[in-house]
Amino acid sequence: MAKTRSGPRPPMPQNNPPSVNEGAVIELPVRARPRKSRPSGPPRFRIFIIDSGWNSVARRVLRHNFALVRRLHRDDPIYLLSRKRSRDFIHRHRSLIGRDPIIAVHDLDAIQQHYGNAGFHGLHLHLGILRTPRQVLTALQAFARFLRVHRESPDLEPDIRSELRREGIVGTVEILLHKVPRVIGG
């Protein structure tokens, strides 16, 4: 048996607010702020993303935040290797197995200074070694921040070394205080 509603109906909400006349055209304000033009100049880095497709938390976090990473580093070209290309690449460089997704950053200034990749020439972020989404996100944020802050640095290598040393000291203090270090987690 179908139930029928009985009793007084509640008053229907008014569709038109009283202040707006029917048929009136409301002009939306035109964007007042001019868009900032993209800064020109040669790129400092080349960024490669290598991901052979392990179903890992790192892969999911990277995919979810890729647009933001792209926007933060829009002055530098990003090269995405397809899953197949990444697999072939990792197959040829087996030390990378289990470390992907990898964000490889080549410092074009350092490559120019050292006439190639004989000395320091960049860094890798091995997201695949992390286990929890929080760890991956924290590492990704630290990495994006580091690249952005040190983009104009005349020599990136000492900056990386000192940042790692600082991170290590902070980690040691956090271990002594029984806290989980920020970047690498447990």
Partner 1 sequence: MFDRLGEVVSVVLGALALGYLIYEIDRRKRKLSDLFYVLDNEDADISAELMDMVESGELQPYTRGGRA
Minimum CB–partner distance for residue 82 and partner 1 (Å): 6
Kindly tell me which of 32 and 67 has the beta carbon lying closer to partner 1. 67
* DSSP annotation of 51: -
Interface residue with partner 1 among 54, 65, 75, 80 (CB under 8 A) is 80
Note whether 161 binds partner 1 by CB under 8 A. Answer: yes
Examine residue 44 and tell whether it contacts partner 1 (CB under 8 A): no
Shortest distance, CB of residue 93 to partner 1, whole angstroms? Answer: 5
Going from the C-alpha of 49 to that of each of 59, 96, 169, the distances in angstroms are 11, 13, 29
Backbone dihedral angles phi then psi of residue 17, each to the nearest 5 degrees: -65, 145
Instruction: Check if the beta carbon of residue 154 is closer than 8 Å to that of residue 44.
Output: no
Axis crossing angle, helix 57-72 with helix 133-149, rounded to the nearest 10: 20
Q: Establish if 53 lies at the interface with partner 1 (CB under 8 A).
A: no
Q: CA–CA separation, 155 vs 94, rounded Å?
A: 30
Question: Which residues, numbered 114-153, are part of the site for partner 1 (CB under 8 A)?
Answer: 116-127, 129-130, 139, 143
Distance (Å, whole) CA 177 – CA 171: 10
Indicate whether 157 belongs to the interface with partner 1 (CB under 8 A). yes
166 binds partner 1 (CB under 8 A): no
What is the rounded distance in angstroms from the CA atom of residue 74 to the CA atom of residue 64?
17
- Calpha distance 124→99 (Å, rounded): 10
Q: Does 164 bind partner 1 (CB under 8 A)?
A: yes
Binding site for partner 1 (CB under 8 A): 46, 48, 70, 77-82, 85, 89, 92-93, 96, 99, 104, 106, 116-127, 129-130, 139, 143, 157, 160-161, 163-164, 167-168, 171-172, 175-176, 181, 183-184
